Amino acid sequence: MDQSLFDLSGRTALITGGGRGLGRDIAEAFAEHGANIAICSRKLSNCQETVDYIQNKYSVQARAYVCDVGNEENVISTVNEVLSDFGQIDILVNNSGATWGEKAEKMPLEAWQKVLNVNVTGTFLMSKAVGNHMIEKGYGKIINIGSVAGLKAEPAEVLNAIGYSTSKAAIHHFTKDLARKWAEYGVTVNAIAPGFFETTMTKHILERSGDRIKEKNPMNKLGDTNSLKATAILFAGRASDYITGQVIAIDGGGSL
């Protein structure tokens, strides 16, 4: 197999929410395959820590930025900064996410709005800002982070966060719709729908229901980061040049 299909040398990847969790794992995977890395989130310290780690371990450029993905002016400013620093954005990973655990009948409106603003509006705003640059140069790879929560309804004792689930279902359709619209410009748009991985966001769920989740999973285990990294590399490189509008669940069969 031609290994250059997975080579990201000379590419620049912008990863939102890349300071920790799955975003950090993806950032490291891209750096390992030669991409320069731009990471943004509302907390600069997390991003800078990841940038320092990447620069010490890999021979790539990496920079951290502060960005509230739900604020259009902030998004545009951040994208312009990245373009000024790197000259291009070839890969965008919309990973920033928020959740709020509560029964649907008690969910505060402000909680619902916060989750959708970060997860859905943030993905739209960042895709729009970076997409204009990608369309202009006729090339781009957009990777949206969805969730198996957007593929199936979990029982309340496993996941009781209707805003989060709804937002991830929206991301999956957004991915397909945008892929259809931007295919003619040389921009592919795909999504990864992770199952249950050990992250800061899932910590409380796994502490409460981890054993049950593993028992119900066809593979009887939680997610491993290597599977996530491999799928991200596939979507980011030339190997996926004929793949667009797809949502791949990395969940050990949990969404079946």
First-to-last alpha carbon distance for the chain, in angstroms, is: 31
Determine the Cα–Cα distance for residues 223 and 250; give it in Å rounded to an integer. Answer: 7
Which active-site residues does the annotation give?
164
How long is the chain? 256
Instruction: Tell me which residue of 142, 136, 128 sits closest to 76, measured CA to CA.
Output: 128
Bridge partners of residue 94, in order along the sequence: 144
Task: Give residues with Cβ within 8 angstroms of 192, minimum separation 6.
Answer: 143, 144, 145, 146, 228, 231, 232, 235, 247, 248, 250
Bridge partners of residue 111, in order along the sequence: none
Indicate the burial class of 9 (C-beta count within 10 angstroms; 0-12, 13-18, 19 or more): exposed
Instruction: Tell me which residue of 106, 96, 121, 196 sits closest to 160, measured CA to CA.
Output: 106
Task: Give residues with Cβ within 8 angstroms of 173, minimum separation 6.
Answer: none
Determine the Cα–Cα distance for residues 153 and 99; give it in Å rounded to an integer. Answer: 15
Determine the Cα–Cα distance for residues 209 and 184; give it in Å rounded to an integer. Answer: 45
